[in-house]
Amino acid sequence: MSEVVTPEWLGAGLAFRCTGCGDCCTGAPGFVWVNAEEIAALAAALGLSPEDTERQFVRRVGVRRSLFDLHNGDCVFFDAERRNCRVYDARPAQCRTYPFWQAHTESREAWDAVRRECEGARESSPLIGVEEIRARVRENARARERL
């Protein structure tokens, strides 16, 4: 696995607390990557077989797999009424580790772009330490390597 870099600029960590706004599950169409283990976890949460879960909720993107988007770009598992995730406990690593992905933490400019999009990444949010950030970046990177 590629080594996770912890850049100097992170200092003591980054301010973040999920506000549950749902913005990262909605909006413009995108990709929520899932590997076989993540599909199995979703299947267990849904009470379906992995095959049926994949048939109903997953699309192929080249050799990789991503959750379906709804017509408005929302994730197929986003509950628009409650504004939450219907499979929260079984959500994929990409969701669990957001916004601490390698691409978001490798430079101050990249993190500034996250802060413009994500209300939980305000300066007033609690500080997430470097070791925790590192663990989340690593978890997401590992999941991506198994796509």
Please give the biggest Cα pair distance in the chain: 45
Query: What binding mask, one character per residue, do residues 11-30 give for ligand SF4 by CB under 6 A, x or -?
Result: --------------x-----
* Residue 77 near ligand SF4 by CB under 6 A: yes
Closer residue to ligand SF4 in complex, CB, 95/121: 95
Sign of CA dihedral 41, 55, 102, 2: positive
Q: What are the residues whose beta carbons fall under 8 Å from the beta carbon of 26, sequence distance 6 or more?
A: 72, 73, 74, 75, 78, 80
Q: Work out how close the CB of 132 gets to ligand SF4 at its nearest, in angstroms, rounded to a whole number.
A: 19
Closer residue to ligand SF4 in complex, CB, 32/114: 32
Binding site for ligand SF4 (CB under 6 A): 25, 32, 67, 75, 77-78, 85, 87, 91, 95
